[in-house]
Amino acid sequence: MTCEETHILLHALIDGELDAGHAREVEAHVANCPRCAAQLRDYRGMHAAMSAPGLRYQAPASLRARLERALPTTALPAPRASATSRRSLMQGFGMGSMVSAALAACLVLFVVHTEEDHRIVGDVVSAHLRSLQGDHLIDVQSTDQHTVKPWFNGRLDVAPPVIDLTPQGFTLIGGRLDYIDGRPVAAIVYKRRAHVINLFVSQTAGSASGAAMEKLQGFTVWSWAWSGLNFRAVSDINPEELREFGDKLETAVQSGAS
Amino acid sequence: MSDRTTDEDPARARRFRDAALPHLDAVYTLARYLLRDPSDAEDAVQECYLRALRHFDTLRGQEEVKPWLFAILRNVCRVEYGRRSRVLLYDVNAESDKAESTIPLWREAQDTPETEMLRKLDAETIRGLVAALPDVFREVIVLREVEDLSYREIATIVSAPVGTVMSRLARGRALLREAWLKAEHKDEPEGEYEERLK
Q: What are phi and psi of A194, to 5 degrees?
A: -95, 5
Q: Are residues A173 and A245 in the same domain?
A: yes
Same domain flag for B71 and B96 = no
More confident residue, B111 or B22: B22
Q: In terms of pLDDT, which residue wins out, B30 or B84?
A: B30
Residue B63 forms contact with A (CB below 8 Å): no
Which of A49, A72, A73 is facing B120, going by the closest CB pair? A49
Does the pLDDT at position A122 exceed 70?
A: yes
Residues A128 and A146 in one domain: yes
Of the candidate ranges A5-19, A34-48, A95-109, B71-85, the one whose mean pLDDT is the lowest: A95-109
Quick check: B24 pLDDT over 90? yes
Q: Please provide the distance, in angstroms rounded to a whole number, between the alpha carbons at the two ends of chain B.
A: 59
- Between the alpha carbon of residue A150 and those of residues A137, A170, A175, the distances in Å are 18, 20, 11
Report the C-alpha gap between B91 and A180 in whole angstroms. 51
Q: Rounded CA gap, A240 and B154, in Å?
A: 20
Q: Which of these ranges, A51-65, A143-157, B1-15, has the smallest mean pLDDT? A: B1-15
A45 with B118: Cβ contact below 8 A: yes
| Backbone dihedral region for residue B98 (phi beyond 0: left; psi -120 to 50: alpha; all else: beta) | alpha
Predicted local confidence at residue B4, as pLDDT: 46
Facing A11 at nearest CB: one of B25, B114, B166 = B166
Measured in angstroms, the CA of A179 and the nearest CA of chain B are apart by 29
Question: Given an 8 Å threshold on Cβ–Cβ distance, is B25 in contact with A59?
Answer: yes
CA distance A80 to chain B (A): 13
pLDDT over 80 at A53, yes or no: yes
Asked if A51 and B148 come within 8 Å (Cβ–Cβ), the reply is yes
- Same domain for B173 and B106? yes
In this predicted structure, the answer to whether residue B87 has a pLDDT above a threshold of 60 is no
Distance linking the first and last C-alpha atoms of chain A: 31
A223 and A232 in contact (C-beta within 8 Å)?
Answer: yes
Structure confidence at residue B100 (pLDDT): 55
Domain count, chain B: 2
- pLDDT for res A60: 94
Same domain, B100 and B192: yes
For the cut 60, the answer to whether the pLDDT of residue B107 exceeds it is no
A97 and A202 housed in the same domain: no
- HSE, side-chain direction, 13 A CA sphere, residue A247: 8
CB proximity B171 to A under 8 Å: no
For the cut 80, the answer to whether the pLDDT of residue A93 exceeds it is no
Calpha distance B84→B128 (Å, rounded): 21
Query: What is the predicted pLDDT for the residue at B67?
Result: 92
Q: What is the CATH number of the domain that holds B134?
A: 1.10.10.10
Q: Are residues B62 and B130 in the same domain?
A: no
Residue A37 included in any domain: yes
Report pTM.
0.56
A182 domain residue, yes or no: yes
What is the C-alpha separation between B24 and B44, in angstroms, rounded?
12
Domain that holds residue A122: 115-254
Residues of A in contact with B176 (CB under 8 A): 46
Domain extent, residue B156, equals 92-197
DSSP H helices in chain B:
3-8, 10-20, 24-35, 38-54, 65-81, 92-102, 107-111, 123-131, 135-141, 151-157, 162-184, 192-197
Q: What is the DSSP letter of B146?
A: I
| Shared domain check, B109 and B147 | yes
Domain containing B18 — which CATH number? 1.10.1740.10
Check whether residue A207 and residue A129 sit in a common domain: yes
Q: Alpha-carbon distance B83 to A8, whole Å?
A: 33
Is A91's pLDDT higher than 50?
A: no
Determine which of A130-139, B158-167, B182-191 has the lowest per-residue pLDDT on average. Answer: B182-191
Task: Identify whether residues A127 and A103 lie together within a single domain.
Answer: no
Report the distance separating Cα A191 and Cα A174, nearest Å: 10
DSSP A179: E
Which DSSP state fits A170?
B
At residue A102, the pLDDT reads 45
Indicate yes or no: CB of A49 within 8 angstroms of CB of B1: no
Same-domain status, A168 and A204: yes
**Number of domains comprising chain A:** 3
- B30 in a structural domain: yes
A225-256 pLDDT, tens digit per residue, is: 888 888 999 999 988 889 999 989 988 888 87
Same domain, B100 and B189: yes
Domain presence at residue A102? yes
Both A163 and A183 in one domain: the answer is: yes
Q: For the segment A162-198, what is each residue's pLDDT rounded down to a tens digit?
A: 999 988 889 999 999 888 877 889 999 999 988 899 9
Q: Which residue has the higher pLDDT, B100 or A238?
A: A238
**C-beta of residue A258 within 8 angstroms of C-beta of residue A162:** yes
Name the pLDDT band for A87 (thresholds 50, 70, 90).
very low
Answer yes or no: is B132 within a domain.
yes
| Residue numbers in B near A51 (CB within 8 A) | 145-146, 148
Between residues A242 and B104, the one the model is more confident about: A242
> What does the pLDDT look like over B113-147, one tens digit per residue?
555 567 788 899 999 999 999 989 999 999 999 99
* Residues 116 through 155 of chain B touching chain A, CB cutoff 8 Å: 117-118, 120-124, 126-127, 130, 144-146, 148, 150-151
* Residues found in chain B: 198
Contact map slice: B 79-98 vs A, CB within 8 A: none
Mark whether B107 and B190 lie in a shared domain: yes
A12/B151 touch (CB, cutoff 8 Å), yes or no: yes
Same domain flag for B183 and B103: yes
pLDDT score at A51: 87
Is A66 contained in some domain? Answer: no
Q: What is the mean pLDDT of chain A?
A: 78
H-run or E-run covering A35: helix A34-49
